[in-house]
Amino acid sequence: MHALPRFDERFAVSDEMAFLRPLASRLVAHRRWMRDRPFVTLSWSQSIDGSVSVSRSHPYALSCRKSLEMTHRLRALHDALLVGVNTVLSDDPQLTVRHCVGDDPQPVVLDSRLRFPESARLLGHPSHRPIIVTTDRAPRAKAARLAALGASVQRVACSSDGRVDLDAALDRLGSLGLRSVMVEGGAQVIQSILAARLVDYCIVTIAPTLLGGVKALEQPCRPRSEAPLTILDCRYQAVGADLVAYGPLGLR
């Protein structure tokens, strides 16, 4: 289990990023209560028309330098950083903290069929080897090879559509001692975790760009009979050229 850091070691936020302090306070409170399920922060960047990339196989850098610094500060605030396997396949990311001072979060990848490449840079992560959350349907030979390369392969239940059951995934991460998870995407993960009502806090960075590509939300996040998800007490902050909307997520 991860040791609880002192507030000023990890959760202190500079004046420039003071709008992140309410989130930092929530993370500290969640850790002190030692809840089994991690606190979930969903953060993504989109164009002003709601696109997150040009196409699913061609990511597009939307964030300005200042909002990129904010994203890396958010990474440093959380125990784990979660993405879907499509992000690994398209970006081959490191998922480290590079644009500010802070510890790297534990990388977590959702991958129901174990498409995770054996050449991925995450397998050479400088401080944490990846946790790959998959299902019982995933090939055992591939799981063994990834484990031999240093990955921690965690099998959980699958959802009705064959994907990783997100409730089960978060429960497993909590059992591994991870008390907070930052979710960065991609689009399918954003859609799924919102539809499952598992997000505690939401941060949306809006770039002044018209992209006309893949949308962050391409399907409804709720049955028609339910109230819409809303960023409660939503606040806005200019960060460089971008606009950041943020706050706790709930039902209106």
Extract the tokens encoding 128: 């944490």
Residue 27 has pLDDT above 80, yes or no: yes
Residue 9 has pLDDT above 70, yes or no: no
CB atoms within 10 A of CB 158: 17
Do the domain assignments include residue 98? yes
Do the domain assignments include residue 187? yes
Reported as a pLDDT band with limits 50, 70 and 90, residue 46 is: very high
Do the domain assignments include residue 15? no
Do the domain assignments include residue 18? no
Domain count for the chain: 1
- The range of the structural domain enclosing residue 188 comes to 36-251
Do the domain assignments include residue 4? no
Do the domain assignments include residue 23? no
Do the domain assignments include residue 113? yes
Please report where in the chains the tokens 């209106």 appear, as a residue.
Answer: 252
pLDDT digits (tens, 9 = 90+) for 174-207: 999 999 999 998 889 999 999 999 999 999 999 9
Extract the tokens encoding 15: 């004046």
Reported as a pLDDT band with limits 50, 70 and 90, residue 3 is: very low
**pTM score of the predicted model:** 0.91
Do the domain assignments include residue 10? no
pLDDT digits (tens, 9 = 90+) for 59-74: 778 889 999 999 999 9
pLDDT for the residue numbered 33? 79
Residue 229's nearest CA partner among 204, 191, 183, 194 is: 194
Beta bridge partners of 108: 82, 131
pLDDT for the residue numbered 11? 58
The percentage of the chain sitting over the pLDDT mark of 70, rounded to a whole number, equals: 92
Query: Which of 97-101, 107-111, 117-121, 161-165 has the lowest average pLDDT?
Result: 97-101
Please report where in the chains the tokens 């539809």 appear, as a residue.
Answer: 195
pLDDT digits (tens, 9 = 90+) for 104-149: 999 999 999 999 999 999 999 878 999 999 999 999 999 999 999 9
| Separation of alpha carbons 29 and 158, rounded Å | 31
Q: What is the CATH number of the domain that holds 75?
A: 3.40.430.10
Outline where the chain has alpha helix (H). 7-10, 21-33, 65-77, 85-91, 140-148, 166-175, 187-195
Residue 4 has pLDDT above 50, yes or no: no
